[in-house]
Chain A
Amino acid sequence: MKLSKESVLGLIALATFLLLAVIAPGFLSSNNINSMMFQLPEFGLIALAMMVVIVTGGIDLSITYIAALSGVGAALMLTNGYGILPAIIVAILFALACGAFNGFVVSKIGVSPILVTLGTMVLFEGIILAITKGSSISGFSEGYSLIGNGYYLGLVPLSIVIFAVFAIITAILLSKTSWGRSVYMYGSNETATLFSGVKNSRVLMKVYLYASLLAAISAIIMTSRYNSVKVDLGSSYLLQSVAAAVLGGTNIHGGYGKVIGTVYAVMIFQFIRNGLNLLGFHSSLVDVVIGAILILVLAMNFFSDKFKKIAETKNAGKAA
């Protein structure tokens, strides 16, 4: 039986879970599982956004600042007495405006995404600082805090339901729509895609818009959970989201990447972070472990590819 890359990762996630359940005291307690489910969605959504961009061969370094800016948008509405729905709409609009700007420079002007988003990262950070003057905005209505802290049907955290919904939507968009197919095509060969009649710039624009939409959803969950917003909202997720996407099997040069792989990778990160915490490890060692896993997995990929190639040439030799 042959397992896909994603299934192997799923098994690794399961193994991590079981291992930590055995060695980390209190890992399986309902309290701990609950807190993991509350922490996972905000990071998961950013990782999905990053994955979609990486599939096109790009990267979005401004994604966490897009999230922070849209969080600021929501916070401004809420503290000025508007309802929850207008706040959410403004958050999404703020994010879409940022995404459209990134998308415009990447798709119409054609600058490489890493440079554009490096610049817009500083730009968006500056806009947030200019709005908030570096301080945090806090004190939202109780209804709003339910998004990040409430339960769906009194059982499952509402935020993880939102995450699941968006993960499924992303999977369907990528694998079942013509836009999704074009995203993969663009990622594997830009020129061939253009020559086969795909409007590359439109595909790319939608990629950056969709990524910023996911960032906005993540921002809504984060602001609701923390009940405040600051310029560094979620900024620690930036490089971690790239790591999660890559660990999830996404090709950093574009052309390949699956939602389920990224979700497994996000789960592995969450289990490890939580488990090491329970085992009393210093929080900065979690970064070390995550970095080591990232490199190890890719090194293992390299060696397994190499062995496969050696085996193939041997077989070919025998056949001849």
Chain B
Amino acid sequence: MKALLKQKEISILAIILLIGAVLSFVSPVFLTIGNFLDIIEGNVVIGILAIGMTLIIITSDIDVSVAALTTAVAVSIGYLFTFLPDSWISVLLLFLIAPVIGLVMGLINGLLVSIIEIPAIVVTLGTLNIIAGLVLYITNGNYVNSTNFPQSFMAFANYELLGLPILIYLLAVVAIGTWFILKHTLIGRSVLAIGGNTQSSVRVGIDYKKVKLFVFAYMGFLAGIAAIAQTAYTKAVDPNGMLGLELTVIAAVVLGGANIHGGRGSIHGTLLGVLLLAIMQNGMILARIDTYWQNVVTGAIIVIAVSYDHLSYKRSQDKLAKIEVEA
């Protein structure tokens, strides 16, 4: 099983390297550090959300409300800016308040999924409608631009450490933190166990409801952090800016090797999935492919990738079945 997992992430890496090799021939700009930093910084938000989504997909659920959640937190940040004083304490406070707002909304999703036992796709569909509707009602669709932002936040957004934008560090912290939770904590191991086999894991005494509550609350928490990243990156709060982003996030997680039926998935795989989508988009722009064709290519790659993944999964399952018959 471990060898299989390894294989999978390596095959994604191989695809990325292949596309990268082609692109570096097509465009001399592609293989520059500047371009790479642009690609990563531009996908920090998707990366953070995809990491949270990985945990949910590992437990074989799905959350389609992430983009709405992030937008709601971003809009709250925009309102907070009118109250907060212009100093570094505000930025610190923001990092306390935004994740908590996200966490509360994630908890609502989690409670509905775990206690009331409504299927996650329906719950998050409902909260997506409610949150997105409220955001549009309150903001009237108007967006706030950076002239209203405190200078301290702008300084944070433009800060670079050792030549790398601060947002990249933010993504790294989230990735390493989540990897640690998944790998070395009880709750993280329970997430994988529930995804692998719900019944057996409940029998060994894992609290199913607590784990479900945790993954959705954690998703909300990360949505709060993603909202800060989004605000810092775009230097604006746009209530319509992330429409439909949840599907990109899910696509990245799945491309990264997580199984929608649960049990499989890893943080580095997801990051590779995000990178694959990002490089494709960047590459098509650099290769001057007509923008109208870009979706065709992206869609085709998603379909091919999930089909290929499923075929190889089926093949490995067939092998397993044969051994059982023999014994």
Contacts and interface: CB of A to CB of B under 8 A. Distances in A.
Interface string B296-324: 11111011001100110010000000000
Contacts of A33: none
A130 B298 CA distance: 13
Interface in B154-182: none
B136 A130 contact: no
B116 A298 contact: yes
Interface stretch (B97-105, B189-197, B246-254): B246-254
Interface residues of B, number: 45
Interface string B228-271: 00000000000000000001001100100000110000000000
Interface in B103-133: 112, 116-119, 121-123, 125-130, 132-133
B62 interface: yes
A128 B28 CA distance: 31
B303 A288 contact: no
Interface stretch (B6-14, B17-25, B206-214, B287-295): B287-295
Given A121-B299, A298-B118, A284 B133 contact: yes
B64 interface: yes
Contacts of A288: 129-130, 133-134, 137
A123 B296 CA distance: 5
A24 interface: no
B260 A112 contact: yes
Nearest to B139: A284
A252 B62 CA distance: 13
Nearest to B138: A284
A129 interface: yes
A42 interface: no
A83 B158 CA distance: 59
B299 A110 contact: no
Contacts, number: 144
Contacts of A285: 133-134, 137
B110 to A, nearest CB: 13
Interface string B51-67: 00000000000101000
A4 B123 CA distance: 24
Interface stretch (A177-185, A211-219, A238-246): A238-246
A116 B112 contact: no
Contacts of B293: 126, 129-130
A127 B298 CA distance: 11
Contacts of B127: 291, 295
A294 B299 contact: no
B227 to A, nearest CB: 20
B25 to A, nearest CB: 24
B121 A252 contact: yes
Contacts of B300: 119, 123
A282 interface: yes
A15 interface: no
Contact of A114 (B62, B125, B133, B311): B62
Interface in A270-288: 282, 284-288
Nearest to A62: B299
Interface in A246-305: 246, 252-253, 282, 284-288, 290-292, 294-295, 298-299, 302
A140 interface: no
27 contacts: A118-B302, A119-B251, A119-B300, A119-B302, A121-B247, A122-B299, A125-B295, A126-B299, A129-B296, A130-B290, A130-B293, A133-B292, A239-B64, A239-B128, A242-B121, A246-B122, A246-B125, A252-B122, A284-B136, A284-B137, A287-B129, A288-B133, A291-B129, A291-B133, A294-B122, A298-B118, A298-B122
Given A59-B121, A294-B125, A295-B126, 9 more contacts: A110-B314, A112-B260, A122-B247, A122-B302, A123-B296, A123-B300, A126-B294, A284-B132, A291-B129
The 6 closest A-B pairs by CB, nearest first: A123-B299, A126-B295, A291-B129, A287-B133, A126-B296, A119-B302
